Amino acid sequence: MPQTLTSRWTEDGCRLDDLRAVLGERTDPADYPHAAAVEQEIVVYDLDGFRAAPSDELVHAFANGPGVVVIRGAFPDTAVIDHATAVFEQLIAAGTSRGDHFAAAGSNDRIWNALEKLAVTAPEVFVEYYANDVIAKVSHAWLGPGYQVTSQPNVVHPGGKAQVGHRDYHLGFLAPDVIEQYPQHVHRLSPVLTLQGAVAHSDMPLESGPTLYLPHSQKYGPGYLATNRPEFRGYFVDHHVQLPLRKGDAAFFNPAVIHGAGGNVSADLHRMANLLQVSSAFGRAMDAVDRTRVCVAVYRALRTHPHPEHAIAAAAEGYAFPTNLDRDQPVDGLAPPTQADVVRQALAEDWTQERFEEALAAHASKRVTA
């Protein structure tokens, strides 16, 4: 298939044999010396092995390997998971959940912008949850500094049907005729602007429907268009893989991996996962998050936490732009301070809540145009 820089892929040009050729690649355990195993092509780490793995190993897994990694025991203290689950269940009971993109209506409960809702409802839980080093390490490895975390817990109830095989945001959420307008290099760019993840908030045996994956499929160029075609969707149904998870495990994957939530065929398991979409500083997240509101809500909890840096990264805007350079001029270097820099300064200098809120408001005022 010709793949010149200036050409555009088309839906009619997608060929299932081309996808099969890509999927013929196999995950080589020698490429992942810190992993505990390779299971159904997926790289699986225990917590110690993950912590020891260099970033290059993780990047290779997402880009050149299967596109998916699982970390067993990513939250070794599952009490943190239980505390967040209790808040999510309160939000669902209060009627804040909505439907899914790729599943039938009524089969699940999903909370959009749960990051902000958790921060405002239970700031101590937020800080303890996002102080997790696994989320921080994998996000920094794939996206670099200044990444932005968003969160959408999803509960799939017994009888909930499987999602269709799909790719995720950005291009994965557009209609085929729109996707075709983007040149090939944008198809390649989109996956490196986002990392998808899921933290298991309950045990997920296979009958409960943990995520279905087509490992290595991120390497198939026109995959954003192919997933709309019935022959590709049928191939996904017949050839996907699926790993069970335990509460506290986490899976992260390249958003271009063709995947979908599994069907919940259990009698009584209400499967909950916190779906994490982590965006590059240079990209746009799907959820709109009022990060000033988040920072104000969690500041007191940050002041009392012994290791708040990872939670700051999840809460605050870590990139300096866009801004109003007439008002927000760089002082030391080419970029003005970020919101996260203000949070770090406040903690280092032990500012009061009132002083911190004034500083945040002053920082925000420099970024408006009028």
Which pLDDT tens digit goes with each residue over 206-258?
999 999 999 999 999 999 999 999 999 999 999 999 999 999 999 999 999 99
Residues 361 and 218 in one domain: no
pLDDT of residue 201: 98
The Cβ of residue 4 has, within 10 Å, a number of other Cβ atoms equal to 8
Domain assignment of residue 4, yes or no? no
- Per-residue pLDDT tens over the stretch 280-306: 999 999 999 999 999 999 999 999 999
Residues 357 and 272 in one domain: no
Residues 218 and 194 in one domain: yes
Query: What percent of the chain is predicted at pLDDT more than 90?
Result: 93
Residues 207 and 336 in one domain: no
| Amino acid type, 231 | E
Total length of the chain = 370
The Cβ of residue 123 has, within 10 Å, a number of other Cβ atoms equal to 20
- Per-residue pLDDT tens over the stretch 77-117: 999 999 999 999 999 999 865 555 455 555 789 999 999 99
- Rounded mean pLDDT of 47-66? 98
- Per-residue pLDDT tens over the stretch 252-266: 999 999 999 999 999
Whole-angstrom Cα distance, residue 168 to residue 165? 10
pLDDT of residue 106: 56
- Per-residue pLDDT tens over the stretch 180-198: 999 999 999 999 999 999 9
User: Looking at the predicted structure, is the pLDDT value of residue 40 above 70?
Assistant: yes
42 forms beta bridges with: 39
Among 227, 245, 279, residue at a domain's last position: 279
Domain assignment of residue 318, yes or no? yes
Residue 334: domain span:
291-365
pLDDT of residue 95: 83
- Per-residue pLDDT tens over the stretch 17-37: 999 999 999 999 999 999 999
Residues 34 and 166 in one domain: yes
Among 279, 303, 323, residue at a domain's last position: 279
Domain assignment of residue 284, yes or no? no
How far is C-alpha 160 from the chain's CA centre?
Answer: 22
Q: Which two tokens stand for residue 65?
A: 């390997």
Residues 299 and 264 in one domain: no
User: Looking at the predicted structure, is the pLDDT value of residue 6 above 80?
Assistant: no
Whole-angstrom Cα distance, residue 120 to residue 97? 16
Quote the DSSP letter at residue 266. -
Q: Is the pTM of this model over 0.85?
A: yes
Residue position matching structure tokens 């690649």: 25
Domain assignment of residue 286, yes or no? no
Whole-angstrom Cα distance, residue 46 to residue 241? 20
User: Looking at the predicted structure, is the pLDDT value of residue 122 above 80?
Assistant: yes
Instruction: Please give the mean pLDDT across all residues of the chain.
Output: 95
Q: Starting at the earlier edge strand, list the strands of the sheet with 241-242.
A: 241-242, 212-214, 258-260
For residue 2, what pLDDT band results from cuts at 50, 70 and 90?
very low
Q: What is the CATH number of the domain that holds 16?
A: 2.60.120.620
pLDDT of residue 36: 98
